[in-house]
Structure formats: C-alpha cells, structure tokens
C-alpha cells in the first residue's frame, strides 16, 4: 500500500465506522451550542441537536484552526509518512486556508516529506464521497502524486443536489441572501440547491411541494450522471430519515444504484442548512 495518510475534517459527514474502515485521520470542527463548545459529531444524539434547532436554538460554528490541523498531520510526518489533506470547501469555511497554513509550517520542519492540501470545494457527504473514492484509489495502489491530481480534477464532477425545509437557516448563517430566503418562505415553495464550482451554495430552482423537491434532486442523477459509475451514492439528511429513504428508493428504482449510504448531516453543517434538509451526492459530467 502507498506510504501516505489521507486526512480530512468532520464536515465530510461519513458514517462513524467508516473512518476506521477507510484508515482516515479525522480533524473535527467545533461549535458553540447551548452555552458550551463541542466538537462536530462528538455527541451521538444528533436528534437532540436538531430538536434544539427546531426550538429556535442557534449555533455558532468554528473552522479548524492551523494548530489542530498540524496536530493531526505531524504524527504521520514524524513517522515518515506523507500526507494528503482533503478539506471542507473554502467557499463555506476557512478550514482549508488553515490547513494550508499548517502544511506550510510543517514543510519547513519536515522538508523530506510531501504534503498536499486539496480544497475539495465540497461539503457534507459530497466531501465524504470524494474522500471515499480517494481511499479506494489509494488502496488500489495509486501514488500520492497521482491521487492528488485525481482529486483536483474529479472534485468538479462531485455533484451536490439538495433541498431544505426552511430557507431561514441558510439565511441566518449567511449562506444565501435575505431576499432569497424571505421570498421563498412567502411563496411556500421548496428550493432545490447545489454546490457550484467555487464551493458556494446556489439556489437553482423552486418546486411546489416537498415530494416534488425530493424527486427533483433524485432526477439530477439521471440528468448529470450519465457515463459515470454511480453504483454507489451517498445521501444525508437533517433528521428526516424517511425522506432520505424515499430518495434512496427513487435512485435505486430509476437509475439502478446498488449501494446507498445514508447518514445525518453533521451538527456543524446542519446548524446552517437546518432540520429537513435532504441531499444526494454522486459523480456527474459537471456539478
């Protein structure tokens, strides 16, 4: 197996057991919630987090700082292992910039080691799916340099399509404009959004009704995923598992998807997207 370690952050929203299975080093983001500082996904009861968000509780999230990145990378470098960092989108957080600062400092201390830092321009299980593919490529024998190139090229083919139940959460976190949130709420329409090539959340179109929105994000797989192996698809949700399972049913029946991984949207991202968010992630011609 190639001698390098893949390091990522908790905004990848992978299933807890997958970190060990994939041999990943995880760096958690943190958030201030209900008067205390907690690490993303440190609390097993995400249902309680979403219940509090529904009750009007607010959360203040924090990016990974350079020291935390350095503490995750340095043990591998000291052991003679190179590092590939796959970081949360710079369009939504300074987490990537912090990883770059940490890598620059560590290169001076370990000049014989190679460190690559990739701005995935991805979020949640979109980032998770890119990390999952990267781990597969590593296990198949891809070199660090080859995998770095692969990640930089293929991140633009990692499609993120999602719908939210209440636009006000995205507005509160500064992810969309106040006008977009107010108009969408007044019209009682359900937005369909995606992540663009700059790693920003973009409101693409609106449909009437929750079911129509879920069907719309599932249908993007058929529209954009032609010619790509999408036998595996990731879906995440903001405490609305039945809606996620409905999207799973659609992509299995309509597009022949074999393996579907479903997980909660983590507390950090979920505090911005809100309860009721459902997202589907797959490979496609473009985002």
Q: Which CATH class is domain 4-156?
A: alpha beta
pLDDT by position in tens, the chain (length 287): 789 999 999 999 998 899 999 999 999 998 888 887 777 765 557 888 899 999 988 888 889 999 999 999 999 999 999 999 999 999 999 999 999 999 999 999 999 999 999 999 999 999 999 999 999 999 999 999 999 999 999 999 999 999 998 777 766 655 566 666 666 566 668 889 999 999 998 889 889 889 999 999 999 999 999 999 999 999 999 999 999 999 999 999 999 999 999 999 998 999 888 899 999 999 999 99
Q: Are both 4-156 and 157-283 of the same fold?
A: no
Among the listed residues 194, 213, 212, 214, the one whose alpha carbon sits nearest the alpha carbon of residue 204: 194
Q: Which CATH class is domain 157-283?
A: alpha beta
pLDDT of residue 187: 61
Task: State the angle between helix axes of 95-109 and 66-78 in degrees (0 to 180), rounded to the nearest 10.
Answer: 40
pLDDT of residue 143: 98
Distance CA 93, CA 58 (A): 18
Kindly list the domain boundaries of the chain, sorted by start residue.
4-156, 157-283
pLDDT of residue 183: 60
């Amino acid at each position: 197996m190639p001698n390098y370690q893949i390091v990522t952050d908790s905004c990848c929203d992978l299933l807890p057991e997958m970190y060990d299975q994939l041999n990943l080093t995880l760096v958690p983001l943190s958030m201030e919630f209900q008067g205390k500082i907690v690490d993303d996904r440190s609390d097993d009861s995400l249902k309680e987090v979403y219940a509090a968000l529904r009750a009007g509780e607010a959360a203040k999230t924090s990016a990974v700082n350079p020291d935390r990145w350095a503490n995750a990378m340095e043990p591998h470098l000291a052991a003679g292992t190179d590092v590939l960092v796959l970081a949360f989108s710079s369009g939504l957080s300074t987490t990537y910039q912090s990883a770059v600062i940490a890598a620059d400092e560590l290169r001076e201390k370990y000049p014989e080691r190679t460190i690559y830092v990739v701005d995935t321009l991805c979020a949640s299980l979109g980032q998770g799916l890119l990390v999952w593919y990267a781990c597969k490529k590593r296990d198949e024998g891809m070199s660090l340099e080859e995998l770095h190139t692969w990640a930089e090229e293929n991140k633009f083919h990692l499609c993120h399509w999602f719908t939210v139940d209440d636009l006000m959460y995205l507005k509160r976190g500064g992810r969309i404009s106040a006008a977009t949130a107010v108009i969408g709420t007044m019209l009682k329409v359900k937005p369909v959004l995606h992540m663009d090539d700059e790693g920003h959340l973009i409101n693409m179109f609106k449909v009437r009704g929750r079911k129509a929105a879920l069907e719309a994000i599932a249908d993007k797989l058929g529209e954009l995923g032609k010619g790509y192996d999408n036998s595996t698809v990731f879906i995440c949700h903001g405490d609305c598992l039945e809606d996620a399972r409905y999207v799973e049913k659609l992509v299995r029946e309509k597009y022949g998807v074999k393996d579907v991984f479903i997980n909660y949207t983590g507390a950090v991202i979920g505090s911005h997207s809100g309860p009721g968010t459902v997202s589907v992630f797959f490979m496609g011609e473009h985002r």
